[in-house]
């Protein structure tokens, strides 16, 4: 078993590997150790001697590809996650520690996220634009808590074009400062408000502990920035955007996030209020999947962003910012995946249906392939993302496993007997084995199209229902600190009334490893007493360990 | 630390002689001291209405001082630039130019303004460089920024970039090219591998040397292009012939820390682009793709941006260093007499495969090396479009890439039915929008119709629709074309059809006019004397050439001067007949092909 478990990640482990990357960058080896559990086999590989075996190793790696096995999720969630990313070809490690290469299959998921959100942003009146990646250090310093929050993570460019720069430049960690600098020049009167913009960009945060998609030195995101004349409008905008994220999470990604407000301790550096969507991953850890900040006038005051209101008075603008990043892709993997690999909600799957033709004898092949490609055409024309795997290198069984591992929601099998009866076999990714398999679905176009669309919808909603059930069975209502500790130690989320101090919040973090994920918008009725102090509390908070 | 180790290859071969566009921002600021600056909060945010162009005559327009305000805004911004991040050449040019400019142009500028009645202080024909930098700002495409050579792409230009993406991205997806994303950061180890290919990027790389407060052990480069980032992975991912072709593309930003005169869109230190990188089993497949992509680039220019381009092959001297051959689409800017490389599609051959060990096992079980291509177009496209179509009233956008194709402006009159006019405007916008035309209305009550006309002309909107009391009564609208100023009354009943026709017509007309102007600049020559003369007349020169590197180097040396040297632009695929015995214009040796020559960006 173990000998088959060499994935492309472990493949990178070995210094004398034929891969050019490993040889060139010692940093990669450091990173490997950082990210991965020790793998005895990999170690033995790395002890193999160098260049002479290159050819040999290339061949080995080729065989390995066909026999990829993923660590069972229940056995080691982190190892499972990394295996899925490697085997499903979602991403690869980048050449610099903590960076990653987003491969086409992973990028296509990001594109699906972009397509949905970009339309929603435009519908709500936002325009896209692009700000430079470099920010003068002096900008970052202007807003005190902002610089405090970000300074340890800043990547600084000090040399450009062979010369020392006069002022060091920050590679943007987020763009509030540069945006405000420009807003100050663009906003003059109330007629210029609201100013609603968004950009799709890469940002950099020099994190020490990294994990593909979830936390990388560089990541892709959208960042919205808005300026308003009144605090009410800004608040409304912040809420509107977190609502859009919530809807995206539920309706597209089938992730039942809990939407709420961050505690003061967890609020974005420089914001008055931070709203968040918190998702429960398969290991029950929380993932902050998107945030929307009401910035109040903090940045406006730091940058002098003022407007003349209708009565001619100069006022500071009220602002928001909000973002979703490639981290969301990590959330999708960790919410829906299972032991067989990835499981993608149909609405964001790059491939929604894979067709696997099955033939044994050569004389069957033509008819089967013919039927398969006409099925493909039917689905394509009805707007379904379909892939026909007609390669003759692999057995149908191998293909089943492969596309299951890639998380494709539906599989259509077509064999000679199906061709004869004018029907196909359809299997659901989310229901393993025979239960998920239906025989004898007519190939007749209108029937097939309707059937497939219906099934995709069912899968979409059943993924969501399953995730909701999982989430709800793992949130425990607590009324004392002991309850909370017990819940956290079981790896669950704890929900309980909270009105204690920031110090108490930090104490919880120190003693249990859990933080307040949010004060959910949906609050239970009734009188509440703080689980820590017993004082009256207005809200319940959710505590959990998080990524 | 040796920062000259790294490198890579000039993707667009855009090493360029000094540009003719000298940006003396001070000269715009000459009468700034008389401007109405709201000075209550220091340098920031002091400028009122800086983005609005001045349009109406002084008696009608309460904003008579706007140009002064704009000027002062620029001046302040310049001071920011000087105080903040300094680009040496920029600052120097600025300070030297300051005083003389202030003296000269005080009177002259007003004259121009009166004559044209516009928000632009410079005319395209007279002072192209300053006209350009003024248009991109006043049309709200670009905002200057404290870091020299970095510009903010405002929604007006970002929308153009997005529209081009919406065309190009599905086209390459049809070709089974997939999008992906490689990191911004390049480890010096990988770059080091490319020592042999130095000349290109070494001097232009920006380096991250610190994280937070701590120094990095090894500085990390920011990608100037991604060959060195990507190809190690190609080596890893490609094993057998079934892994081929590998066809990837990414949309991203790249950084080239150049010190030559930065120009918005045309040459900036950070820009957006797509870079495609593909690997094939055979040279034939690679060759075919090079041309397929080049055709898409031609279509972006000709069908979307309405700019005629010439497809051709680059000379050995001008090709992508390390590649096998480079093809490009070349545009021409008649006003400056300079060619501009629009986009490039390179066949890299097997050179990179050799360096990065990108091997595969072919069908016979033998080890073979892949054939590679790379290809890119960038936000430079937008700059070329501004240069080619813009006029003294500002930007002129081809309808296909305009984010607003039709602007509807109500023209109420004293006692007229104002509400009726506004309703008709809204209805017009709705009707057009439903028909897929990008239409908007301008209902702002603090601007006069005349101001709005000029504003949207500045922004280059292809068609303006005016609706006044008479139009309302006659159930018609008045359409005014941005490209030629023609006014057309359209019956409301025929609205959609007529507007569509007009937009198509404008698109075609812009192309035809640009082509005619470009063609007038093309001159066929046979001798060195003719060449020098044509060069002085800012022509795009088509000459018989022997295709020898030394000869091109020699031409460059002999034409070196203030304006920059002449070089080959491309050898067009569409070759005129070359009679036996034709001599090379420069060397007198037998010519082997026709080649375009000229100064370039």
B342 falls in which pLDDT band (50, 70, 90)?
very high
Are B180 and A103 in contact by the 8 Å Cβ rule? The answer is: yes
How many helices, marked H, and strands, marked E, lie in chain A?
19, 25
pLDDT value at position A20? 37
Chain A, 283 to 312: residues with Cβ < 8 Å from chain B are 303-306
Cβ contact, residue pair B239, A65, below 8 Å: yes
* DSSP code string of A71-110: PPTTT-HHHHHHHHHHHTTSEEE-SSTT-EEE-HHHHHHH
Pairing mode of beta strands B463-467, B371-378? unpaired
Query: Average pLDDT for residues B305-309, to the nearest whole number?
Result: 98
Chain B, 285 to 324: residues with Cβ < 8 Å from chain A are none
Tens digit of each residue's pLDDT (9 = 90 or more) over B360-389: 999 999 999 999 999 999 999 999 999 999
* Helix (H) / strand (E) containing A242: helix A231-247
**Which site among B198, B213, B232, B363 would you substitute to test the A interface, given the most A Cβ atoms closer than 10 Å to its Cβ?**
B232
Q: Which of A89-98, B55-64, B190-199 has the highest mean pLDDT?
A: A89-98
Query: Average pLDDT for residues A176-200, to the nearest whole number?
Result: 95
Could you tell me the CA-to-CA distances from A242 to A261, A296, B148, B242 in Å, in that order?
10, 16, 36, 45
How far is Cα A448 from Cα A442, in angstroms, rounded to an integer? 6
Is pLDDT at A445 greater than 50 in this prediction?
A: yes
Q: What is the dihedral of CA B80, B83, B85, B90, to 10 degrees?
A: 80
Tens digit of each residue's pLDDT (9 = 90 or more) over A519-538: 999 999 999 999 999 999 99
Are A167 and A136 in contact by the 8 Å Cβ rule? The answer is: yes
Pairing mode of beta strands B338-349, B325-333? antiparallel
First vs last Cα of chain A: how many Å apart? 31
pLDDT value at position B194? 57
Q: State both tokens at B162.
A: 């997005």
pLDDT value at position A69? 83
Cβ contact, residue pair B209, A157, below 8 Å: yes
Residues with Cβ within 8 Å of residue B174, at least 6 apart in sequence: none
How far is Cα A243 from Cα A235, in angstroms, rounded to an integer? 12
A144 falls in which pLDDT band (50, 70, 90)?
confident
**To which residue do tokens 């930065």 refer?**
B262
Looking at per-residue pLDDT, the higher value among B414 and B297 belongs to B297
Q: State both tokens at B327.
A: 């093809």
Chain A, 189 to 248: residues with Cβ < 8 Å from chain B are 189, 191, 197, 201-202, 204, 206, 217-218, 220
**To which residue do tokens 């490993």 refer?**
A22
pLDDT value at position B309? 98
Looking at per-residue pLDDT, the higher value among B398 and B22 belongs to B398
pLDDT value at position B554? 95
Chain B, 77 to 136: residues with Cβ < 8 Å from chain A are 84-86
Tens digit of each residue's pLDDT (9 = 90 or more) over B522-542: 999 999 999 999 999 999 999
Q: Tell me what the pLDDT averaged over chain A comes to.
A: 88
pTM for this predicted structure: 0.84
Residue A387 forms contact with B (CB below 8 Å)? no
pLDDT value at position B493? 95
Spatial CA neighbour of B542 closest among B517, B566, B525: B525
B200 falls in which pLDDT band (50, 70, 90)?
low
Are B204 and A133 in contact by the 8 Å Cβ rule? The answer is: no
Q: Up-side HSE of residue B318: CA atoms within 13 Å toward CB?
A: 32
Q: Strand runs (DSSP E) across A119-262, as ranges?
A: 127-128, 134-136, 155-160, 163-171, 195-204, 218-228, 258-261
Spatial CA neighbour of B222 closest among A13, A139, A165: A165
Chain centroid offset of residue A212 CA: 10
How far is Cα A218 from Cα B344, in angstroms, rounded to an integer? 28
How far is Cα A410 from Cα A390, in angstroms, rounded to an integer? 16
pLDDT value at position A67? 53
Are B427 and B482 in contact by the 8 Å Cβ rule? The answer is: no
Tens digit of each residue's pLDDT (9 = 90 or more) over B552-579: 999 999 999 878 899 999 999 999 999 9
Tens digit of each residue's pLDDT (9 = 90 or more) over B70-100: 433 443 333 333 333 333 333 333 333 333 3
pLDDT value at position B69? 39
Q: Tell me what the pLDDT averaged over chain B comes to.
A: 83
On chain A, the residues whose CB falls within 8 A of the CB of B42 are: 304
pLDDT value at position A239? 98
Among B162, B210, B357, the residue with its CB nearest the CB of A20 is: B357
On chain B, the residues whose CB falls within 8 A of the CB of A26 are: 189
pLDDT value at position A162? 83
3-class DSSP state of A385: coil
Tens digit of each residue's pLDDT (9 = 90 or more) over B47-58: 333 333 333 333
Query: Average pLDDT for residues A291-297, to the nearest whole number?
Result: 97
Q: State both tokens at B393.
A: 């009233």
> Residue B40's CB: how many other CB atoms inside 10 A?
9
How far is Cα B73 from Cα B83, in angstroms, rounded to an integer? 15
Q: State both tokens at B226.
A: 């991604």
Q: Return the exposure string of B566-576: e unless at least 16 CB atoms fall within 10 Å of the residue's CB, then b.
A: bbbbbbbeeee
Chain A, 111 to 170: residues with Cβ < 8 Å from chain B are 111, 127-134, 136, 138-139, 151-162, 165-169
DSSP conformational letter for B261: -
Burial class (CB in 10 A: 0-12, 13-18, 19+), A2: exposed
Tens digit of each residue's pLDDT (9 = 90 or more) over B271-287: 999 999 999 999 999 99
Query: Average pLDDT for residues B391-395, to the nearest whole number?
Result: 96
Pairing mode of beta strands A195-204, A127-128? parallel
Pairing mode of beta strands A353-357, A410-414? parallel
Query: Average pLDDT for residues B134-153, to the nearest whole number?
Result: 94
């Amino acid at each position: 078993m173990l000998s088959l478990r060499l994935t492309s990640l472990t493949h990178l482990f070995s210094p004398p590997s034929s891969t050019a990357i490993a040889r060139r960058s010692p940093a990669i080896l450091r990173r490997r150790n950082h990210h991965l559990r020790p793998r005895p086999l990999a170690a033995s590989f790395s002890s193999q001697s160098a260049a002479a075996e290159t050819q040999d190793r290339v061949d080995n790696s080729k065989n390995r590809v066909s026999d990829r096995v993923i660590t069972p999720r229940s056995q080691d969630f982190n190892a499972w996650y990394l295996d899925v990313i490697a085997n499903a070809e979602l991403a690869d490690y980048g050449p610099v520690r903590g960076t990653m290469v987003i491969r086409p299959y992973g990028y296509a998921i990001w594109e699906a996220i972009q397509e949905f959100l970009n339309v929603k942003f435009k519908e709500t009146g936002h325009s896209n634009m692009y700000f430079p990646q470099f920010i003068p250090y002096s900008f970052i310093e202007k807003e005190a808590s902002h610089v405090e929050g970000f300074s340890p993570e800043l990547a600084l460019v000090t040399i450009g074009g062979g010369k020392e720069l006069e002022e060091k430049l920050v590679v943007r960690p987020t763009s509030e400062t540069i945006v405000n600098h420009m807003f100050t020049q663009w906003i003059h009167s109330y007629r210029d408000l609201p100013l609603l913009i968004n950009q799709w960009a890469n940002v950099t945060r020099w994190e020490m502990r990294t994990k593909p998609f979830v936390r990388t030195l560089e990541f892709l995101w959208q960042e919205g920035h808005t300026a308003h004349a009144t605090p009410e409008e800004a608040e409304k905008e912040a809420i509107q955007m977190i609502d859009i994220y919530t809807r995206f999470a539920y309706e597209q990604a089938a992730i039942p996030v809990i939407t709420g407000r961050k505690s003061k301790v967890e609020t974005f550096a420089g914001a008055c209020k931070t709203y968040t969507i918190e998702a429960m991953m398969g290991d029950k850890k929380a993932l902050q999947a998107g945030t929307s900040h009401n910035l109040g006038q903090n940045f406006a005051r730091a940058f002098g962003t003022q407007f003349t209101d209708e009565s001619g008075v100069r006022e500071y603008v009220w602002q928001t910012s909000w973002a979703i990043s490639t981290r969301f892709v990590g959330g999708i993997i960790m919410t829906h995946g299972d032991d067989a690999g990835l499981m993608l909600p149909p609405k964001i799957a790059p491939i929604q249906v894979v067709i696997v033709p099955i033939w044994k004898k050569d004389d069957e092949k033509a008819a089967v392939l013919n039927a398969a490609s006409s099925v493909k055409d039917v689905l394509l024309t009805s707007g379904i993302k379909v892939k026909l795997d007609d390669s003759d290198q692999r057995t149908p069984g191998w293909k089943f496993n492969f596309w299951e591992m890639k998380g494709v929601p539906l599989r259509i099998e077509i064999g000679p007997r199906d061709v004869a009866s004018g029907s196909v076999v359809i299997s659901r990714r989310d229901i393993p084995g025979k239960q998920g398999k239906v025989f004898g679905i007519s190939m007749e176009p209108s029937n097939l199209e309707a059937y497939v669309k219906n099934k995709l919808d069912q899968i979409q909603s059943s993924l969501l229902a399953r995730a909701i059930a999982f989430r709800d069975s793992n949130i425990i209502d607590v009324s004392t600190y002991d309850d909370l500790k017990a819940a956290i130690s079981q790896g669950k989320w704890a929900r309980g009334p909270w009105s204690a101090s920031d110090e108490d919040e930090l104490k919880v973090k120190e003693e249990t490893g859990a933080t307040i994920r949010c004060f959910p918008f949906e609050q239970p009725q009734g009188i509440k007493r703080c689980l820590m102090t017993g004082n009256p509390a207005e809200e319940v908070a959710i505590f959990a360990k998080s990524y | 630390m040796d920062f000259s180790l790294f490198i890579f290859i000039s993707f667009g071969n855009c090493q360029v002689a000094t540009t003719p566009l000298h940006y003396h921002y001070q000269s715009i600021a000459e009468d700034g001291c008389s401007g109405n600056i709201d000075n209550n909060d220091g340098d920031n945010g002091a400028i009122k209405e800086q983005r609005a162009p001045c349009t109406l005559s002084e008696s009608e327009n309460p904003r008579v001082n706007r140009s002064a305000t704009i000027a002062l805004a620029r001046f302040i911004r310049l001071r920011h630039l000087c105080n903040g991040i300094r680009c040496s050449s920029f600052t120097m040019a600025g300070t030297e130019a300051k005083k003389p400019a202030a003296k000269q142009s005080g009177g002259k500028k007003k004259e121009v303004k009166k004559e044209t009645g516009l928000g632009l202080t410079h005319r395209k024909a007279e002072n192209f460089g300053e006209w350009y930098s003024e248009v991109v700002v006043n049309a709200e495409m670009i905002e200057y920024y404290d870091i020299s050579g970095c510009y903010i792409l405002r929604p007006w230009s970002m929308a153009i970039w997005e529209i081009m993406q919406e065309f190009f991205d599905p086209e390459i997806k049809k070709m089974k090219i997939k999008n992906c994303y490689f990191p911004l950061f390049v480890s010096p180890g990988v770059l080091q591998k490319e020592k042999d290919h130095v000349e290109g990027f070494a001097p232009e790389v920006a380096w991250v040397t610190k994280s937070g407060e701590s120094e990095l052990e090894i500085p990390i480069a920011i990608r100037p292009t991604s060959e060195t980032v990507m190809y190690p992975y190609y080596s890893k991912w490609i094993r057998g012939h079934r892994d081929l072709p590998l066809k990837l593309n990414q949309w991203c930003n790249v950084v080239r820390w150049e010190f030559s005169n930065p120009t918005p869109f045309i040459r900036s230190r950070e820009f957006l682009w797509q870079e495609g990188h593909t690997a094939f089993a055979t040279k034939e497949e690679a060759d075919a793709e090079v041309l397929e992509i080049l055709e898409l680039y031609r279509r972006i220019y000709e069908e979307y941006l309405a700019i005629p381009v010439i497809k051709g092959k680059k000379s050995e001297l001008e090709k992508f260093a390390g590649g096998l051959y480079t093809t490009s689409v070349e545009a021409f800017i008649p006003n400056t007499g300079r060619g501009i490389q629009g986009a490039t599609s390179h066949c890299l051959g097997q050179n990179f495969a050799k360096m990065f060990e990108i091997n595969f096992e072919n069908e016979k079980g033998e080890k073979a090396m892949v054939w590679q291509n790379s290809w890119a177009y960038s936000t430079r496209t937008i700059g070329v479009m501004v240069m080619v179509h813009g006029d003294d009233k500002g930007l002129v956008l081809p309808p296909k890439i305009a984010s607003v194709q039709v602007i509807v402006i109500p023209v109420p009159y004293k006692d007229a039915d104002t509400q009726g006019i506004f309703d008709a405007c809204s209805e017009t916008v709705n009707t057009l929008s439903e028909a897929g035309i990008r239409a908007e209305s301008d209902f702002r009550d603090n601007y006069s119709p005349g101001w709005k006309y000029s504003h949207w002309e500045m922004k280059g909107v292809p068609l303006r629709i005016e609706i006044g009391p008479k139009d309302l009564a006659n159930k018609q609208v008045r359409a005014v074309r941005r490209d030629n100023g023609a006014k057309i009354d359209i019956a409301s009943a025929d609205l959609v059809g007529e507007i569509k026709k007009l937009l198509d017509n404008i698109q075609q007309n812009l192309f035809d006019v640009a082509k005619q102007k470009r063609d007038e600049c093309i001159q066929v020559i046979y001798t060195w004397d003719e060449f020098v003369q044509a060069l002085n007349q800012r022509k795009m020169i088509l000459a018989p050439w022997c295709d020898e590197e030394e000869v091109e180097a020699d031409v460059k040396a002999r034409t070196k001067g203030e304006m920059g040297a002449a070089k080959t632009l491309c050898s067009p695929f569409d070759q005129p007949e070359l009679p036996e015995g034709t001599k090379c214009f420069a060397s007198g040796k037998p010519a082997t092909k026709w080649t375009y020559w000229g100064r370039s960006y």
